[in-house]
């Protein structure tokens, strides 16, 4: 026993004497090789037919410019994508380019990304949604699609609950009344919620935020001034906790995965409403396949006087460059991802709202046209203005608020402390 403890002590001492030797992270930003005939690309999600066609299109566009370069596309699961990416980069085995969500996920990782500001300059006027991919005056990606949190509802369930399916709730009181009716008169839950990863509260914050904060507070939040102890920030947390306590959500929300279990509940008619996405997945196109004419779109509801409701939307996803040695190749790949024909084809086939403002969405899906009609007055997402550490804390607190483990005041204090 003593010998073993002594051995451990020796190891520790030796380690202490070595503390000037090297660092835990590799010196480079990526472990991508330097061979100029291959580009390793990471993204997430399953390659459905539409996505496969889109990637065929952009690979073809890339090959026009780089005919001799092989593209290796690696699909990772989304739920742990950033942890996998971070681990790979730290281990020196990261890809050359990787897909990122705009906002927090990209901005908190600019230290591992290569700026491409001048290379993207000629695309600036063609695409919308740049701010989500810019930090400290540098551009790190080109937005492929716009992303946002529209609220979708099931018109058939509204009818069953005795609600006017063509006039969705416009205020918090009306929403509360609608939820009561749905819970009383149908077997469905009011909202579908998957909170296993803690994502629910960020959808709630960004989904309903414009109806809670004043325009000045909203803009200040986007600019990085997050006063978690303010009345309206606490109100967000309170409404989140109250909505759970009032039984708005499906059973077992904290153990239900958001992607895609909770969205499946909405598609299957087991929930009257859901805060979904505009692009990528859980969007108008996917829901239309299940609900057809019963799919409705509604704007955030007005909660406080002085708030101006707006569709929460911004630059959604785009590729960032991780391997500086392959910057030129990666830039050509990024330009290929925003090829107008590829975006145009995928918008309709895959259910995406393209960043290219010259692309017209030619669809008869009412929810999609309603979303596009609101883009002009849209505001950036509130949760993507938070840093990664605060967002992770918000995820955990969102679960604890549902479980009644923390009070709103405690949660607000912890978030304020996290923002430092």
Q: How far is the CB of 409 from other proteins (least distance, A)?
A: 16
Q: How far is the CB of 221 from other proteins (least distance, A)?
A: 23
The DSSP output letter for 259 is: I
- 210 vs 399, which CB is nearer to other proteins? 399
CB 128 within 8 A of CB 279: no
Q: How far is the CB of 397 from other proteins (least distance, A)?
A: 7
CB 58 within 8 A of CB 336: yes
What is the rounded CA–CA span in Å between residue 334 and residue 166? 41
Q: Is residue 97 classed as helix, strand or coil in its secondary structure?
A: strand
- 347 vs 399, which CB is nearer to other proteins? 399
What is the rounded CA–CA span in Å between residue 272 and residue 179? 8
Sign of the four-CA dihedral 11, 13, 14, 15: positive
Q: How many CB atoms lie within 10 A of CB 162?
A: 12
- 90 vs 242, which CB is nearer to other proteins? 90
- 255 vs 357, which CB is nearer to other proteins? 255
Q: How far is the CB of 141 from other proteins (least distance, A)?
A: 18
Class of residue 90 by CB neighbours under 10 A (exposed 0-12, middle 13-18, buried 19+)? middle
Q: How far is the CB of 279 from other proteins (least distance, A)?
A: 24
Torsion of CA 186, 191, 192, 197, to 10 degrees: -150
- 62 vs 81, which CB is nearer to other proteins? 81
Q: How far is the CB of 142 from other proteins (least distance, A)?
A: 23
Q: How far is the CB of 403 from other proteins (least distance, A)?
A: 5
384 Cβ neighbours under 8 A, 6+ residues apart: 101, 102, 103, 104, 105, 107, 132, 206, 314
Interacting residues toward other proteins by CB under 8 A: 1, 4-5, 8, 11-12, 14-16, 18-25, 27, 79-80, 82-87, 89-90, 109, 111-112, 195-198, 250-256, 388-389, 392-393, 396-397, 399-400, 402-403, 405-406
What is the rounded CA–CA span in Å between residue 348 and residue 369? 12
- 355 vs 399, which CB is nearer to other proteins? 399
The helix, strand and coil proportions of the chain, stated in percent and rounded to the nearest 5, come to 50, 15, 35
Q: How far is the CB of 42 from other proteins (least distance, A)?
A: 14
The DSSP output letter for 299 is: P
- 174 vs 410, which CB is nearer to other proteins? 410
- 229 vs 255, which CB is nearer to other proteins? 255
């Amino acid at each position: 026993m003593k010998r073993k403890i002594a051995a451990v002590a020796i190891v520790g001492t030796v380690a202490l004497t070595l503390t000037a030797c090297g660092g835990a992270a590799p010196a480079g930003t990526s472990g991508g090789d330097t061979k100029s005939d291959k580009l390793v690309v990471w993204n997430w999600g399953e390659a459905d037919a539409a996505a496969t066609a889109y990637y065929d299109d952009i690979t073809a566009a890339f090959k026009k410019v780089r005919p001799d370069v092989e593209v290796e596309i690696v699909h990772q699961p989304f739920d742990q994508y950033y942890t996998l990416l971070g681990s790979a980069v730290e281990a020196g085995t990261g890809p050359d380019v990787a897909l990122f969500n705009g906002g927090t996920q990209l901005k908190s990782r600019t230290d591992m990304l290569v700026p491409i500001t001048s290379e993207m300059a000629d695309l600036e006027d063609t695409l919308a949604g740049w701010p989500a991919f810019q930090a400290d005056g540098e551009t790190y990606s080109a937005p492929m699609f716009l992303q946002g949190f529209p609220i979708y509802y099931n018109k058939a369930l509204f009818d069953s609950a005795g609600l006017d399916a063509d006039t969705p709730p416009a205020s918090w009181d009306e929403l509360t009344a609608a939820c009561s009716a749905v819970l009383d008169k149908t077997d469905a839950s009011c909202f579908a919620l998957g909170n296993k990863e803690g994502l629910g509260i960020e959808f709630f914050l960004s989904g309903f935020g414009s109806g809670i904060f004043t325009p000045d507070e909203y803009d200040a939040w986007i600019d990085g001034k997050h006063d978690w102890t303010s009345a309206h920030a606490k109100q967000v947390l309170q409404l989140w906790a109250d909505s759970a306590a009032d039984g708005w959500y499906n059973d077992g929300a904290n153990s239900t995965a958001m992607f895609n279990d909770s969205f499946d509940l909405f598609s299957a008619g087991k929930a009257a409403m859901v805060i979904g996405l505009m692009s990528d997945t859980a969007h108008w196109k996917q829901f239309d396949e299940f609900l057809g004419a019963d799919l409705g779109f509604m704007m955030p509801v007005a909660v406080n006087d002085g708030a101006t409701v707006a569709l929460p939307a911004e630059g959604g996803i785009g590729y960032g460059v991780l391997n500086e040695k392959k910057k030129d190749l990666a830039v050509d790949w990024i330009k290929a991802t925003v090829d107008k024909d590829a975006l145009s084809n995928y918008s309709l086939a895959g259910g995406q709202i393209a960043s290219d403002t010259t692309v017209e969405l030619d669809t008869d899906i009412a929810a999609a046209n309603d979303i596009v009609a609101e883009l002009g007055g849209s505001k950036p997402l509130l949760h993507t203005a938070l840093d990664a550490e605060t967002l992770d804390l918000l995820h955990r607190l969102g679960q604890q608020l549902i479980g009644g483990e923390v009070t709103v005041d405690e949660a607000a204090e912890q978030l304020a402390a996290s923002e430092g």
